[in-house]
Structure 1
């Protein structure tokens, strides 16, 4: 019995062992990524993927891991060892499914947590393998890799690493191989791209990935993208952009705005236009004689209106830059409105184009904004008996207010009806919409030594007046493109020139008349140019159809272009004085070698900046300080060997300004104004000096230096130094003023002035290039 019992017991144990051996091994689906079995099995299978059973096992393991991650099973770091296998899995050529699963795994883990995302992109081999997979001939693999890149791109560090790994260049290369086929589906735009890959269609994620990486990069990276790759992609992007606008007329989707920003970014550093030679413009406007431009500057510039030329010829540089229809009024209207989008305003002292793009995000590529881009207006008798402006679209449903309302395609069509009813269509920012006008404006800016020139166009029907009597805060050259117009211009009522961006006051313009002297009347015909100085009230009329003036073979409607010479605060003569003071004070600082945080240096900073305030106060009442500084005028470099500085009295003007500063700058007035502004938190008074920060950008500004970015706070910190020692501070102010007025150097100021303007011109050029790209090929 005992033997039988032992035998039975052995059989039971054997049976149990057999059951243990017969139980199947843990399946891949049962293996958690945290399981010690997961990585060894995966690595063993990856060593030799030739056997189908190994490929199936890898497939099962990856699917298991992917399901685990997507179910929220992992929110921390990656499982040990997995990262080292990702490059091998992504580059897998024997099994397309394995490569797809590996890419999907990367995307899923990237979205788990910021820690996982950063751990993935810290591995250069994985990122490079992912980028390489974008060019896989399998659309499934390439698409999975692209989707993983989009998932990674949720984190700033990942975007930076992807750009360093040439992801943008790879995406642009792949996109260049495709033919775009835009289509509309239920009002939303889809990008369908037929690619030279297995699988047929390349999805829109490729475009989206390129857009995300480009729209979040810095300017250095944009400039590093190979020019050929940029140009090729821009051709595709612009075609998609035009198709997007055709099918989404009147509405804007995020994809349209993002694509517009991408086109802007890639175009802003391209050579979108070539400046019209200033000498050619000088000859065209002021005649072939060298003295023509000089006589204009001495007799009329910023002083009195003048009709500069009559008729047109083959050498008409302005006409050659204009590409507007010379046919019917409808054709002219179509040519100026066709394809126009809104041009968001740029802050006058913004020299970082990427800061503008950040502020303008979501507003690039949108429809024209009423009041900002376009006005449809006429002047007529009002119920009060006075003349005033009436806006056509103020009567239409769909525009809740006259200003800043979207002008949809339907409203653009109604502009034709408005013109028939006697309204003028005024379109602003033409230099951002037409390459020819951009070239013209850039040449005019160089001729007058300013950073930029603005252009507007006005279409007025017969027998009508568009804008009411007004004055501008900038000088205007009116070029009559078509038809004719009668202008009435009055003299300024004050010797002070109005300043750009200051509120337009009533002292310059009234219903009864202008300033001292009779109003002047001018009849402009096609090809004529009229100069109107800033501050001179003016109004314009088109003759009625039955008017004798209209029976001269001219078009009965009028189309004219205005070129506005906008003198911004840094580029007035007051601005030049501020630059001269900055240069002198910086030289003094270097010579004295004082520590930045020393008490003497702090007090010196207060005194110098109070002198800046005093110069600004002189500019409030001295006409010379408000005039345009033409130190950088291109005409100074083409004067036929003569001394151009003496022709334009530059040295004399500078000397007179220094004498004025010496005689008129008042410590008590400057201190009182500054204390009042600080106590009332009134930033408007000091805001006009804010541009001085551009002379010493923050990244090059030592710690403790006066902060022109926040003038109120900077003065608030320094003003306590005057308490109890007004006398010594005033004496220091007087000595600082004396030294500056004695040792201020014109050439030092001119060099800094040129560097400052170069920064302004670069930013304006970038903006113009970007907007021209959004208008190119408009239909």
Structure 2
């Protein structure tokens, strides 16, 4: 009997009962806390049913429960049962579209309740995956509901990161690509007439396409470089094409100034997608694009820029680089030849006409090139800082100048005088009317000067990129100047960078004066740009160069110059002139002074590694302060020593093999000379007093050396000086150091002597080239992004 009783008990344990679902009509769901057990029971039956399809009774109960939850969230009910969220992965997978859609809405609303709730939802893998799976359902209603929930979840960083982790972006991009791009029409909505880049985009399109686009843009603009690189290449390329087509429509609306400020147009679907959001997504997806700029063969650059002689480049470097103007004449008299480096650029402008009919078309395709800091190596940080300005139409003085020099006062006059007003701090963007006025200004004798052309034309970018490699610089800037007949644009001036002037159309008369100061001007140092030249300058040695189509003129930095299309009535100058200039801007890290700073860094790092093995190890605060002061001393020497101001060509990609031999030897000789100068000229009391005075005046003695943070990235403490905040820490630390001046002097002199005696040129090259490559990478990413936003095929009206 005992065995039989146990057997009956086991039999009862094997029996399972389905939850009893009460009739929905008998329920009263006034208390949200009672919903969880009811919804749990109904969901359990849903899970056990075939194909996840609810029966009529459970379906009605689920709908009533989630409707109550939905109302609770809409009314900000603080008693919302958090535990109920665990059921929604199953509910969002329901075959009943009504249940799935309402469940997604609740997940989205819950994400907006608080940061804590948003994090709770984001960290629930089931809920996040449930929303993402709904995107691929193929049903418009489900896709829209999932997109809206996804957008609600993406209001926080953790929400966006979790969506990226589970590949939501790829599903969004693929979904949007299924929408015919031609059917999407846009308008702009600017509530308070702020910058047009912040205007919201209103879509004349149903919610499905807009929701997919909005969500995709939101996630793209959250991605870091690694996440962007993980997007499948083909998918990213196709999505980018669609974004560019949309960007063309948005850009045209900006130029027309059609941003409306009322909500009268009821048929428009207005989302929080702004002009700069769209521009940023295009920029990000283009950062690592390799097809934007096709590298130019080195032999073509060599022959075009430096002539056809076997030793032309070597001759240029020996006799003209940074010291003397020179000119390369085109051998043939034809216009732009088919194999010329400027042929594709000239063809894109169609500039063979007697008048520049291409001007308006070109300007309409331009947007503002937001300035990037010279030492910014993190392109994502740049985008986050400048995103509110990205995508704006061209801005006067930043992107374009329209000016002429009036005689006989030789004074520059701007056509858009109000936009040039230095008292006006607001950046003024161009519209279609302003662009048309540029044609009027040209007819009145004004020159159109356009900056940053390397970010607007891939053909110009290719030349600039090749020149940057040739001279060992991170990048080369390019401007174009369109000057009418019998006119002068810029007044006489000098530049803080070397310039190659390439005459494309017409002819232009150049006058170059002798350099008034033997000291090379430096990038970012204050210059007298008021063009006030004394009587001695008017009598100074001058050289005249008449540039014809295809000629190239080199002007070193610091040489005053001016140019005009008037040469005493010569018939050769009756036509307008178009030329492009390439500026070799030598950034502080890539002068010889910069190379000396890198050398000190490399030597100091080696000393730290050998700390335990060295007989006389460098250690302690005194030695660290000595290294910091020696950096300051190198800068002081560079302020007066012309050699340290010159461009270091250590990272240059030389073309002729023979040039490598003598230039490498020349560089090593230069480096040894600099080390001798540092050894002889370094005086402790001079540098100590310089820093002391700077601190007394609350000035930063390291402002020109902020780039050193890219070398000393691992330093985080006072003991390991942080160059990201050099002045704050140093100012607090200096008084204690100054109390032991005799000891400090001895340590400084020892560090200086050991550095100059022990450092080797060969030990510095790799670290210097790595720094250069990091700079070049950031510039290349910026160029790729801007070129993509300027793609003429998508911006044409």
Q: So what's the TM-score if we normalise by structure 1?
A: 0.89
Work out whether residues 344 and 360 of structure 1, in 8 Å CA contact, stay in contact via their aligned partners in 2. Answer: yes
1:98-124 deviation per Cα after TM superposition (whole angstroms, max 9, x unaligned):
110110110111111122211112111
Which runs of structure 2 are paired with 1:330-349 in the superposition (5 Å)? Answer: 330-334=356-360, 336-349=362-375
Distance 1:216 1:23 in 2: 47
Residue 285 and residue 707 in structure 1: after superposition, are their counterparts in 2 closer, same or farther (change >3 A)?
A: same
1:5-57 deviation per Cα after TM superposition (whole angstroms, max 9, x unaligned):
xxxxxxxxxxxxxxxxx999752643524556443444345344442222122
SS where residue 586 of structure 1 aligns? Answer: helix
**Ranges in structure 2 where 5+ consecutive residues have no aligned partner:** 1-21, 190-199, 260-271
Q: Give the aligned CA root-mean-square deviation in angstroms.
A: 2.7
Q: So what's the TM-score if we normalise by structure 2?
A: 0.87
Which runs of structure 2 are paired with 1:279-294 in the superposition (5 Å)? Answer: 279-294=299-314
Question: Which residue in 1 is equivalent to 2:635?
Answer: 616
SS where residue 381 of structure 2 aligns? Answer: helix
Question: Which residue in 1 is equivalent to 2:672?
Answer: 655
Residue 318 and residue 662 in structure 1: after superposition, are their counterparts in 2 closer, same or farther (change >3 A)?
A: farther
Question: Which residue in 2 is equivalent to 1:433?
Answer: 456
Distance 1:421 1:581 in 2: 56
Which runs of structure 2 are paired with 1:402-441 in the superposition (5 Å)? Answer: 404-441=427-464
SS where residue 561 of structure 1 aligns? Answer: strand
Question: Which residue in 2 is equivalent to 1:369?
Answer: 395
Work out whether residues 300 and 341 of structure 2, in 8 Å CA contact, stay in contact via their aligned partners in 1. Answer: yes
Work out whether residues 340 and 433 of structure 1, in 8 Å CA contact, stay in contact via their aligned partners in 2. Answer: yes
Does 1:723 find its partner at 2:738? yes
Residue 775 and residue 658 in structure 1: after superposition, are their counterparts in 2 closer, same or farther (change >3 A)?
A: same
Does 1:739 find its partner at 2:763? no
Please, which of 208, 217, 230 is the counterpart of residue 224 of structure 1?
Answer: 230
Residue 663 and residue 321 in structure 1: after superposition, are their counterparts in 2 closer, same or farther (change >3 A)?
A: farther
Does 1:680 find its partner at 2:692? no
Work out whether residues 273 and 435 of structure 1, in 8 Å CA contact, stay in contact via their aligned partners in 2. Answer: yes
Question: Which residue in 2 is equivalent to 1:67?
Answer: 71
Residue 98 and residue 770 in structure 1: after superposition, are their counterparts in 2 closer, same or farther (change >3 A)?
A: same
Please, which of 183, 187, 190 is the counterpart of residue 202 of structure 2?
Answer: 190
SS where residue 255 of structure 2 aligns? Answer: coil
What displacement does 1:686 show?
A: 2.0
Question: Which residue in 1 is equivalent to 2:510?
Answer: 487
Please, which of 477, 489, 512 is the counterpart of residue 535 of structure 2?
Answer: 512
1:318-349 deviation per Cα after TM superposition (whole angstroms, max 9, x unaligned):
44455322224332423542310000101111
Work out whether residues 132 and 168 of structure 2, in 8 Å CA contact, stay in contact via their aligned partners in 1. Answer: yes
Which runs of structure 2 are paired with 1:127-526 in the superposition (5 Å)? Answer: 127-180=128-181, 181-184=183-186, 189-191=201-203, 202-251=208-257, 255-271=274-290, 272-311=292-331, 313-322=337-346, 323-326=348-351, 327-334=353-360, 336-381=362-407, 386-394=409-417, 401=424, 404-505=427-528, 510-512=533-535, 514=537, 517-526=540-549
Work out whether residues 397 and 420 of structure 2, in 8 Å CA contact, stay in contact via their aligned partners in 1. Answer: no
Total equivalences in the alignment: 736
What displacement does 1:247 show?
A: 2.6
**Ranges in structure 1 where 5+ consecutive residues have no aligned partner:** 1-21, 194-199
Question: Which residue in 1 is equivalent to 2:711?
Answer: 695
Distance 1:119 1:396 in 2: 51
Residue 33 and residue 516 in structure 1: after superposition, are their counterparts in 2 closer, same or farther (change >3 A)?
A: farther
Does 1:709 find its partner at 2:715? no
Question: Which residue in 1 is equivalent to 2:87?
Answer: 85
Work out whether residues 192 and 204 of structure 1, in 8 Å CA contact, stay in contact via their aligned partners in 2. Answer: no
Distance 2:126 2:24 in 1: 37
Does 1:533 find its partner at 2:556? yes
Work out whether residues 462 and 542 of structure 1, in 8 Å CA contact, stay in contact via their aligned partners in 2. Answer: yes
Residue 32 and residue 591 in structure 1: after superposition, are their counterparts in 2 closer, same or farther (change >3 A)?
A: same
Question: Which residue in 2 is equivalent to 1:16?
Answer: none
Work out whether residues 442 and 453 of structure 1, in 8 Å CA contact, stay in contact via their aligned partners in 2. Answer: yes
Which runs of structure 2 are paired with 1:34-53 in the superposition (5 Å)? Answer: 34-35=34-35, 37-47=37-47, 48=49, 49-53=53-57
Work out whether residues 189 and 247 of structure 1, in 8 Å CA contact, stay in contact via their aligned partners in 2. Answer: no
